[in-house]
Structure 1
């Protein structure tokens, strides 16, 4: 979906100040609350943004081990295996991919022994041929969208930031 200058300003503000009210966003952007809410509703409806929720950190829940597991799947079983992965609580994300493997799952565990148990559970799913795991050592770039939104905003004519004041992080 192409974004206009106001959409880009809204997205940037949502990322820079995620805990602000809709009323305050409208004030900062200099638009009516109804206009802002309509834009937010459209951005959500079109899949640009998701309803906000807390970001939960698996390590804080006792699952500090993070692994990326490549899964090779028997042809014709991709949907079935994907549904089975959704039943494993330690699988926090999974994507069908190209290249080495058919699925890439982000898996969390309490320790390496627990990770092995989770992988054994994955191997036991009908249609899984083999897995290959890579354990993450340290996060180097946390999940982020602000740089992307800023780069898109630079492409929109007349784009400015939400405010003329520097953002405090």
Structure 2
């Protein structure tokens, strides 16, 4: 969302931290309730090359993020249905090769609780790449928002410079 300029970078960072903490908390809760977190731990399956694992995670995340971006204008019930079906498709596609992370926070929590970070970079690189590709595909091809890279740059500057000036004005009125 930060790449699409729908969310400022500091807020995206707070969301990321919140998701990571939520992933750790849920994995700890799972361990507390069941005594085992291993089934929730994402691992690259034996015999699967790491490059293929990254591609699988990229594709699973790509289709999920693309569905989220393209269904935001639909009624909530419809968008929730499509996102749920997208998550299901991602699991069907990726569970046998990577355990299906699709979100680094979902992979991070069990890894922290088990202290098993083997090939954990796959569960960051794949989703990051998939999300970036989905944003580019949506904003440049499906629903173009910018004609040139300079249009994106102008909107970025407006988002940060104008918003900062508005905040300064608002703060000056509070004194």
On whether the aligned pair clears a TM of 0.5, the verdict is no
Greater radius of gyration (CA): 1
The interval holding the TM-score normalised by the smaller chain is under 0.3
TM-score (norm 1): 0.24
> What's the TM-score once normalised by structure 2's chain length?
0.24
